[in-house]
Amino acid sequence: MNPDRLIHMANSIGDFFAAMPDADEARNGIATHIRKFWDPRMRRAMFQHIDQAAESGLHPLVLQALQQHRGELLPLETS
């Protein structure tokens, strides 16, 4: 997965939800959208990028949403 494309997509989602007056509701909306509409490989690639990059390129609200909801967004690893 191309991290630049994922960042662009995530920031576009963040732009939509940033208009909400309640930041908690916005973060929940971002996480819900990503959980519902992003393939597990996309979510995994985004978290790999966040973990490896010093500067993620993500809108702060998006980064907060991803960090806050990491456990429910990452698919369980199977061996």
Residue 1's pLDDT is 80
Tokens representing residue 23 in the block: 């930041």
Residue 3 pLDDT exceeds 70: yes
- Tell me which DSSP letter residue 1 carries: -
Residue 74's pLDDT is 92
- Indicate whether this model's pTM tops 0.75: yes
Q: pLDDT category, 77, cuts 50, 70, 90?
A: low
Tens of pLDDT, residue by residue over 4-62, are 999 999 999 999 999 999 999 999 999 999 999 999 999 999 999 999 988 889 999 99
Residue 79 pLDDT exceeds 50: no
| 79 neighbors 41 (Cβ within 8 angstroms) | no
H or E segment at 63? helix 60-68
